[in-house]
Structure 1
Amino acid sequence: MKVHHLQLGPLRANCYIVETAPGRCVAVDIGGDSRLLLEFLKMKKLRLSKILLTHGHFDHIGGAEEVHQATGAEIYIHELDAHMLSSETHSLASNMSFVKFVPITDWTCVYGDCYINDGECSFRVMSTPGHTRGSVCYICEDVIFSGDTLFCCSVGRTDFPHSSAAALNFSLSKLYSLEGDYKIYPGHNESTTLDYEREANPYMKQFRGKND
């Protein structure tokens, strides 16, 4: 599994392009700058088949509709965040973005602990509410695409409408309890590993001893 990384949209959110088979890929979060992503796919001679959204905030979905229209790639979102895809208000674009909001017109709802298969890869959908009610992590092989649930030495904000610090704490406990180590590809900033976050992240250190 080969993973490419772009930073897209007004907040430079991380977009990950995952090669799932020769000439085939999925994208995790497309925050904007659809033209840049389409040019990248053309340069790498990759066909985009799916767009996996970790949650419904504008800085992670802003370019998804235009890419969907250009490629036909299916869009996946957790059912609890689906209403954000067509709403400038619920996606927070109305008061946080200076870029025109492009609503998403067609998507498929996913639920926690299901799987999305593409090419030779299988993505486990782990429900990780907190930053939003429908936040998810996508787990594929030894990689976790954590969206705005878990960052390097930090976590996503919980002061937005429908965010919950208590729910995020439970989600972090679920991640902490996973067996083994994983590469973490977050929604913002640099990549990290789950073992490092277990030791260094102040929001996860509380679980040491409880889940070991």
Structure 2
Amino acid sequence: MATTKVVYQDATVSIEMVPALGRFANNTYILRPASGGAVTVIDVPEGADAIVEALGSTPVERIVVTHHHFDHWLGFDIVRAHTPAPVFAGATETNLDATRNIQPLADGATFTVGGATVRAILTPGHTPGSTCFLVGGALITGDTLFPGGPGRTGSPENLQQEIASITSRLYVLPPETLVLPGHGPSTTIGESKAEYAVFASKSHPADLKGDVLWEM
């Protein structure tokens, strides 16, 4: 049996996590309408047989991927063989496989899962088109924001862009908003803001990049 966990639930939708999949311990999120019916799958990593098992016979309305990095796509063919659902990613994302007929999601675009509205929030930095998804009181962040810090970046400019995305686009959300990252455990916006305040109170090298922690 696939190991799954309901990590968020309100009157309109639940978010079910299929955790720690594959060599890179990716999280997949399945958005299920409270009223029943078709679900949305966010990220399709290696180990996707567990995703298919968790889906069972439930119809899939769409597949959404947070950014282009390969570990979030390694299970694509397995999930796509299970469902012909359309596939979406951020409209400004680069290096997407054109053969997959990926449809663009613009910043601020919305879609519905039953009675719930899901909003795309562009957060460039980790990749040019990294996109987070806000549904109710939960935010699925891909590799943009984790407990303790931002996602890995390849240059100081990317890090500064990612920090700007986080502080201007995510930290404006209510502090109780649940943060559900692409790997590892959850946090909240309030907890993350408090961690970032420590980072912001210190000076850092101009060439800072890579794996950064707010406690640095």
Q: Which amino acid aligns with 1:31?
A: P
Aligned to 1:184: 179
User: For the residues of structure 2 that align with 1:193 and 1:139, how far apart are their CA atoms?
Assistant: 13
Structure 1 contact 130–167 (Cα < 8 Å) conserved: yes
Task: Compare the two structures and name the one with the higher helix fraction.
Answer: 1
Q: Give unpaired runs (5+ residues) of structure 2.
A: 1-12, 202-216
Aligned to 1:167: 161
1:202–1:28 Cα change, 3 Å: farther
Instruction: Show the 5 A alignment for 1:88-107.
Output: 105-107=100-102
Aligned to 1:10: 23
Aligned to 1:100: none
User: For the residues of structure 2 that align with 1:191 and 1:176, how far apart are their CA atoms?
Assistant: 15
User: For the residues of structure 2 that align with 1:163 and 1:18, how far apart are their CA atoms?
Assistant: 34
Structure 1 contact 9–63 (Cα < 8 Å) conserved: no
Secondary structure of 2:31 counterpart: strand
Instruction: Show the 5 A alignment for 1:14-163.
Output: 14-20=27-33, 21-42=35-56, 45-86=57-98, 105-159=100-154
**C-alpha distance after superposition, 1:150-208 (max 9, x if no partner):** 00011101117x971121011011211224420110011101111111112467756xx
Structure 2 contact 147–192 (Cα < 8 Å) conserved: yes
User: For the residues of structure 2 that align with 1:72 and 1:66, how far apart are their CA atoms?
Assistant: 11
Structure 2 contact 39–60 (Cα < 8 Å) conserved: yes
Structure 1 contact 172–204 (Cα < 8 Å) conserved: no
TM-score normalised according to structure 1 size: 0.79
Structure 2 contact 28–182 (Cα < 8 Å) conserved: yes
1:200 to 183, 195, 198: 195
Q: Which moved more, 1:131-140 or 1:107-116?
A: 107-116
Number of equivalences: 186
Q: Give unpaired runs (5+ residues) of structure 1.
A: 87-103, 207-212
Structure 1 contact 30–64 (Cα < 8 Å) conserved: yes
**C-alpha distance after superposition, 1:88-144 (max 9, x if no partner):** xxxxxxxxxxxxxxxx52221111111122322211000000000000110001000
Structure 1 contact 198–205 (Cα < 8 Å) conserved: no
